[in-house]
Amino acid sequence: MQQQELLPFEFQGFTLRVERDDDGEPVFHAGDLCAMLGYANPRDAVAQHVEPCDVVKRDVTYPDATGKQRKTQLENWVREPGLWCLILGSHAANALPIRRWVTAEVLPAIRKTGGYQTQTKSKTKPLAIPHLLTLHGESRKLMQELKREMNPAIRRTLHAQLEQCCLLTNIPVPALADIGRELVPEPVPPLVAEFWETYDFLGPELLNHSANPALIAISLPHFAQVAAEHRIKVAPMVEYRRSLGLSASPKFIEIKSVHSVLHARHNESAPLNERLPKTVKCWLFEPVQPPPPS
């Protein structure tokens, strides 16, 4: 039976192309991955982090100016071990969200097609010692995170990532119940739920000061100002200050001054006497990760 082609995956404005090799296993476009993970030179990144046996050369065609197809030079694609080596080798700020996205969305979507299973015997050579050490180090970090984390949803995501590392290094996968413990989630305080309903209604483009897609940064005075401009009644800020630390989804992180993208956008066209400070004190939250496809 002919293998079904896989569609590209989208994440935070990036596209990740996925195809199947001759054995029906997925291969991931190395250039797309490197762009997502902040590698300046994809070819060097692949050479440094990925075993040669996990690199696949494939022709890629693009439409030219006339709409006709033209064949380009061979481009690098990587198998799943290479995918993980590139992710784990990246120091970009969005490497962790990408890792969670791959675990929660990309790989489950691929496996639903029935043409790829992690238990399938691999034809690739064993990973080299540096790559094994990287994966073992990542496994230890994930174990430590699991021991600290009590949110059931986050624990499941972390355990799925741990499972990937264990499969690549051929070590047993510990059961989730044997690592740390779960905390039964408490009901969301009404004031916190109201706050996030208002945030969702007004939108992050008006309220989120963070340039980092892995963070939500909200200034409470600015939140009150924008709500008033849109004639939305909100609670006194002192009540939010007492309650927002309990926010679990999005998860409260800390209160910290950040470089404001909203102020920067305002200052681009504002006169000198109307410019806003570059930094603003904000409440920082971790965005809710999208659920895996059903």
Answer yes or no: is 294 within a domain. Answer: no
Please give the residue that has the higher pLDDT: either 229 or 178. Answer: 229
Residue 170 domain flag: yes
Instruction: Give the whole-angstrom CA distance, residue 41 versus residue 143.
Output: 32
| 231/67: higher pLDDT | 231
Question: Domain for residue 119, yes or no?
Answer: no
Q: CA 28, 12, 158, 95 torsion: positive or negative?
A: positive
144 and 243: one domain? no
What is residue 115's three-state secondary structure? coil
Q: For residues 149 and 215, state if they share a domain.
A: no
What average pLDDT score do residues 184-213 get?
Answer: 88
Tracing tokens 């675990």 back to the chain, one arrives at 103
Examine the domain organization and report whether 85 and 1 are in the same domain.
yes
Per DSSP, the residues of 127-192 read: PPHHHHHHHHHHHHHHHHHHHH---HHHHHHHHHHHHHHHHHHT-PPPPGGGSS---PPPPPPHHH
Structure tokens at 166: 């264990």
In terms of domains, do 208 and 264 share one? yes
**Structural domain ending residue among the three candidates 185, 217, 233:** 185
Q: Mean pLDDT over residues 4-9, rounded?
A: 64
Is position 66 within any domain? no
Q: Considering only 103-117, 194-208, 228-242, which range has the smallest mean pLDDT?
A: 103-117
Instruction: Work out the pLDDT band at 123, boundaries 50, 70, 90.
Output: very low
- Containing H/E element for 26? strand 26-29
Same-domain status, 89 and 2: yes
Q: In terms of domains, do 7 and 36 share one?
A: yes
Considering the domain boundaries, does residue 196 fall inside one? Answer: yes
> In this structure, are 173 and 263 located in the same domain?
no
Residues 98 and 194 placed together within one structural domain of the fold: no
Residue at 67 is within a domain: no
Q: pLDDT band for position 120 (50/70/90)?
A: very low
Structural domains counted in the chain: 3
Report whether 54 contacts 123 (CB < 8 A).
no
Backbone φ and ψ of 199, nearest 5°: -60, -45
Task: Write the CB contacts of 282 (distance below 8 Å, at least 6 apart in sequence).
Answer: 209, 210, 217, 218, 219, 255, 256, 257, 258, 260
Residues 219, 262, single domain; the answer is: yes
Q: Quote the pLDDT of residue 3.
A: 42
Model pLDDT for residues 83-103, shown as the tens digit of each residue:
888 887 888 877 778 877 887
Beta carbons of 245 and 252 less than 8 angstroms apart: yes
Average pLDDT over residues 39-53: 88
Residue 291 lies in a domain: no
Inside any domain, residue 199: yes
Which domain, by its residues, includes 133?
A: 127-185
Angstrom distances, CA of residue 63 to CA of 33, 72, 120:
22, 10, 36
What's the whole-number average pLDDT of the chain?
A: 80
In this structure, the answer to whether residues 217 and 281 fall within a common structural domain is yes
Q: Residue 294's pLDDT is what?
A: 44
Residue 122 has pLDDT above 50, yes or no: no
Is 235 in a helix, a strand, or coil?
A: coil
Query: 45-70 burial by CB neighbour count: b if 16+ within 10 A, else e?
Result: bbeebbbebbbbeeeeeeeeeeeeee
- Determine the Cα–Cα distance for residues 13 and 127; give it in Å rounded to an integer: 32
* Co-location of 224 and 178 in the same domain: no
Q: Mean pLDDT across the stretch 231-246?
A: 90
